[in-house]
Chain A
Amino acid sequence: MGRGEEVEEFLPLPASAMHIVVALADGEKHGYAILRDVAELSDGAVRMGSGTLYGSIKRMLDQGLIEETEERPDPALDDQRRRYYRLTSLGERVGAAEHRRLTALVDAARLRHLGLRLGST
């Protein structure tokens, strides 16, 4: 199986998983940091519950999209109880592929002036 096909298997990525991928794109984070990042990136529109968060994390760990990391990014601010997660190379590729898919969809919607029509109602 080629790399492209391997990535295609994961698409479309669930919204919660894509939010986590985006949150982890700039480095490893623990659960609460991911939640905060998701809320900030969506201007507070998306507020994940901890059940959704850890449900998605568990599924993504099983699928190999993210992994738990042993190293602590900042030992001074570290809390030993926390678990940190980071994207795997597969996770990065799947995130990029989902980004392309969503961009193509948004472009198609823009071409048909969907936003303008819906915005005017």
Chain B
Amino acid sequence: MSVTGVRAFRLVLRLYPVEYRREYGEDMVQVFIDQQLHDRRPASALLLHETFDAVRIAPRMRLESPMKIGWLGGSRVQNLHAQGRLDHMDMCGGEPTAWWRIECSHCLTDFVTWDTRRRYCSDECRTENKRARKQARVAARCATTRRADAEESIVDSAWARPTTTRI
């Protein structure tokens, strides 16, 4: 068994999505070792075969993987289906043809969509973000006003008459 071959194969595995590697990476390494030991195939030929396989398979897995990640996995997509928000997605034979993982501009979690223009994972996030932006604008305006008021008060105090006390 070639240790260098196994190391090189671990590098090839990096082409696959991380969640897939976590689930099946060690099994794939074990299969690679078994093939070297029992089939007596040279590590270089095996590695070439596996690299071609990875180049062919991994991009599709990466496209499909957003549907499987964390709390945004299949259930999330099903929820979006149930809410009727994915009615207009790109479908082919009952399957979505392209899915994208996008970071929500508000809560910074990843969400799954076919629409690359979407910025928020939910209506709540969009509303919250709008409210937050409005608050920030108001706060900035208030800060400007306060600063102007403060500067004005400094100017006023400089020009203010000295207080007089009747004796």
Contact = CB atoms under 8 A, between A and B. Distances in A.
A49 B30 contact: no
Interface string A34-70: 0110000000000111111111011000100000000
A35 B26 contact: no
A55 B21 CA distance: 11
Interface string B17-56: 0001001101110111011001100000000011011101
A35 B32 CA distance: 11
A49 B53 contact: yes
A52 B31 CA distance: 12
Interface in A8-25: none
Contacts of B27: 31, 50, 54, 82-83
A57 to B, nearest CB: 8
A81 interface: yes
A77 B104 CA distance: 50
B52 A49 contact: yes
B61 interface: yes
B16 interface: yes
Nearest to A79: B30
B26 A50 contact: no
A83 B54 CA distance: 21
A25 to B, nearest CB: 20
Given A31-B30, A50-B27, A58-B23, 16 more contacts: A31-B27, A31-B31, A32-B31, A47-B49, A48-B53, A49-B53, A49-B54, A51-B28, A51-B50, A51-B53, A51-B56, A52-B56, A54-B24, A62-B74, A81-B26, A81-B30
